[in-house]
Structure 1
Amino acid sequence: MSLDTYARHMSLQQLVPLLQEQQAAKVDVVAPASAIRARDGMIELFGVTPVVDERGVTTVDGLYSPTGAADGQIADKLGIPVRYLRRLRERERLDLYDGNVNGWLHGSVDAELPEPDDRSFLLRLVTGSGPGQSGVLRAMVSNRYGIIDNLDVLAAVLEGVQAAGADTEIRSCDLTDSTMHAKVYSPQMSVLAPRFLANYRSAFSNPELEAERRRVAGDLDRWRPIAAREGKGYAPGAEPVVFTGFRCSNDETGHHAVRLTPELVVQICGNGLTIPMFAHTHRHVGERLDAGTVSWSQDTLRKKLAVITAETRDRVAEWLSPEFFAARVEELEQAAGAPVTQPDKTLEVLAKKLGFSETERAGILSHFISGGQLTAAGIANAVTSYSQTIPDPDRANALDDIAYQAMTMA
């Protein structure tokens, strides 16, 4: 899978091969600052010990193109303003890019610059496809960063679900070059939420919005037959049914961590409303890795994954319990009914407070109008339906995380 591309709303069967493909292309190395330099806007490694693993010997010396995320980490590690460094790349002032990075890595005879950096960094790489081909720098992080890859996290989480004895299915998965999101729900645990879904119709009944969703999400019509079977007296397509579930996210490049978050899922349209105040986070922190070291021992890795499995088991046992589910739905119902009589003005205020871009504000407003629900719940549903049309999984999940807050502030 190429970098800086997104795969959204996949099944588990689609996700696993992509994780395996990514896993085969990754190389991790710890290198001192003295072995790193910038050249023509790329990062060059020189004099770094080759990586020896089950794949054989991999030479890592050479040029690597930083991802946008890696550029941000380089700036952060070296104390260079992130916007400035990115502006140099955007304006193709690679001479200044190189000068700034190399100056802070290696020092200068200029008394105003510091001594050479004496730190080592963990570099997460994808090597070039052939001799002389440049690779990709995925991340430049602390040598105390705890490497736990997406494939390992997914296996640990699924083991935790099994240990909890929960009847669950993975309803959707998202993947980028660095981040995985897996959305799990329990088809056996559903309740009616009539106030939260009062007068709500799927925003995707609007053909234009449906086309946007299909563009990034594929066919989600599998929800409609479920709604038809469990309508409980409501008109087809209008059943106020929600499921309980949770999301698992992992970031491999130092920005986040393993994160488990409970979620309520709207059956008819697949909107997922996370409940972030109950989220559980497992940070990527490990023992300091020396130069040339590329991974923990298998025993250490097994212990780390065992902790994630146990944490998942405990959280799932709590979040998928009838008591937790009922309490969250009751809270949702209480907050849902506040009227929203001026949606444009309301969303303008929310955009400033919650950091929606102008494009996001306009998109959420469109989904609010199509949803036909002139209440605070309509705001939440508009955010979580709009998020399904966003190509970037990380931003989509971030919007789902603030939908509940948007509802309470509307």
Structure 2
Amino acid sequence: MEQTNFSKIDLGSLVKELESQKLRKKDLIVPSTSLKMIEGKLALTDSKPDKELFNLLSNSGITISNNSQTDYFDITDSCHAQISDKLGIPGRYYERLRKEAVDMLDYNVTEWLNRKPANYFLRSFVDNNGGNGIARAFLSDRFKVIDHLDILITALEAIRQSDQKVIIDSADLTEQRMYVRFIAPDIVKSAPELLRNYKVPYGTNNDSGFGVCSGFILSNSETGHATFTIAPRLMVLACRNGMILQKDKIAERHLGTKMEIGSFDWSENTRQKELELIQFQVKDAVNAYLSENYLGNVLDDMSLKGTKVLEHPVDAIQNISLSLNFSEERKNELLNYFIQGGDTTGFGAVQSITYLAQKVQPDTRYELETASVSILNNIENYDRPAVKHYQQLTLN
């Protein structure tokens, strides 16, 4: 299966990949009775070809055999999870069948597709060379399409129209989401009370001073894994650690009206109205998040919890690791960054999380940068002798 994950890429690389994907993208509303799983692949079948569907597939670049009327799609991991969920097949059982008994998986999926007739929104990439397509999402027929490239172009135009100096720090593209991190290099505040004791792991004291830069992150999922979201994101200049403040996010749900079988595109009017709304949201985000007043208020709030020295620093890291469902290896990695950072305050503990976030895959990075703010706000619940079960941590 072709590469679909790209980490820490620049704007040019992101646009190039999104344009390439747009040329291969094909969306269909299909009845469950037209779908099967064969040898672990999703097969779009129709023993009595419907003329409209036949023409639709042919015009979209999918080669259709006049004999079998079957087209095969390799399935991404995230799409497998959606098939499991939509058909009510327990996830652990489904994954075991994927690894150990594909024939049983074929039977289970095909049987439930036929027993539970419904229309599904299948998002795919086609292979213009005649190979298997890629099934990237298996969604409700009410899913509202808000695609990455449209959002990116709309956001860049909204930023251009603002008076703020905003640059793209980096971007990620995964099977599940697109992430674009923006920073405002002129909106910086010094936070010595938070960063006085912090050292970049394996580095030196803060050569960049105590600066914290304002910015925001734009995220979107084309495959049903999250809403379109804009959220403020602070970046510590010394180490480029990021913290995402979800409480002030702006979000747009991917839920629209029910679509008919075979339809795969919105009208241009509907699309333009949606993008106009997104443009307004980005403008609101730029005005709200990229101000010295907003940044100062956030840093003041963080100082209330972040400057206190932890009474149980090592145990706090263990409790944090437990709450984040870390493996033993990941927990030790976090502890190592905490020790290297040399800051035993609550903010120091959180910086070890956000430093680790830069080393992991993009979806996990987003989760860790988001969790870091919640952990700081509840740091007193982690600063205790180590517990063995997550339920023992009383969180707000």
1:135 matched to 2:133 = yes
Match of 1:20 in 2: 19
> In structure 2, what is the equivalent of residue 359 of structure 1?
329
Q: Which moved more, 1:251-260 or 1:314-323?
A: 314-323
Separation (CA, whole Å) in 2 of partners of 1:305 and 1:21:
21
Give the TM-score normalised by the residue count of structure 2: 0.88
Q: Describe the superposition over 1:93-118 as per-residue Cα deviations: whole angstroms up to 9, x where unpaired.
A: 012111111111113xxxxxxxxx33
What corresponds to 1:94 in structure 2? 102
> What is the RMSD of the two structures over their aligned residues, measured on CA atoms?
2.1
**Structure-2 change in CA distance of 1:313 and 1:6 (3 Å):** same
SS at 2:89 equivalent: coil
**SS of equivalent to 2:193:** coil
Mapped to 2, the partners of 1:67 and 1:198 lie a distance apart of 45
TM-score by length of 1: 0.85
Matched, 1:83 2:82: no
Name the structure, 1 or 2, with higher relative contact order (CA <8 Å, separation 6+): 1
CA contact (8 A) 1:376 1:408 kept: no
Q: Is the 2:61–2:128 contact (alpha carbons within 8 Å) kept by the matching residues of 1?
A: no
Alpha-carbon distance change, 2 to 204 in structure 1, aligned in 2, over 3 angstroms: farther
1:39 maps onto 2:38 in alignment:
yes
Note if contact 1:50-1:59 (Cα within 8 Å) is conserved in structure 2.
Answer: no
CA change 1:264–1:196 in 2 (3 A) is same
Do structure 1's residue 399 and structure 2's residue 336 form an aligned pair?
Answer: no
C-alpha distance in structure 2 between counterparts of 1:279 and 1:101, whole Å: 38
CA shift at 1:56, angstroms?
Answer: 5.6
Distance change (3 Å), C-alpha of 1:37 and 1:236:
closer
Task: State the match for 2:175 in structure 1.
Answer: 177
* 1:339-358 equivalences in 2 (<5 Å): 339-358=309-328
Residue of structure 1 equivalent to 2:190: 192
Which of 199, 202, 214 matches 1:201? Answer: 199
Q: Deviations over 1:364-403 (max 9, x none)?
A: 211111111111111111111111111x211111100011
Query: Aligned residues: percent identity?
Result: 29
1:341 offset after TM fit, Å? 4.7
1:268-292 residue CA offsets vs partner (Å, 9 max, x unmatched): 2111111111112111112211111
CA distance in 1, matches of 2:234, 2:55: 44
CA distance in 1, matches of 2:346, 2:55: 54
Aligned residues: 369
Q: Does 1:71 align with 2:69?
A: no
Q: CA, structure 1 residues 365+72, in 2 after alignment: closer, same or farther (shift >3 Å)?
A: same
- Quote the Cα distance in structure 2 between the aligned partners of 1:66 and 1:409: 40
Query: Residues 395 and 322 of structure 1: is their aligned pair in 2 closer, same or farther, counting only changes over 3 Å?
Result: same
Contact 1:262 1:274 in 2 (8 A): yes
Q: Which residue of 1 aligns with 2:230?
A: 260
Note the C-alpha offset of 1:262. 0.3
Change (3 A) 1:236 1:405: closer
- Aligned equivalents of 2:211, 2:55: Cα separation in 1: 52
Note if contact 2:62-2:128 (Cα within 8 Å) is conserved in structure 1: no
Alpha carbons of structure 1 residues 368 and 8: separation in structure 2 relative to 1, 3 Å: same
Deviations 1:282-326 (A, max 9, x none): 111122111110111111111111111111111221111232121
Shift in Å at residue 236 of structure 1?
Answer: 6.4
Q: Distance in 1 between matches of 2:102 and 2:127?
A: 21
For the residues of structure 1 that align with 2:43 and 2:206, how far apart are their CA atoms?
Answer: 60
CA–CA distance in structure 2, aligned partners of residues 71 and 30 of structure 1: 18
Post-superposition offset of 1:14: 2.0
Q: Paired residue for 2:124?
A: 125
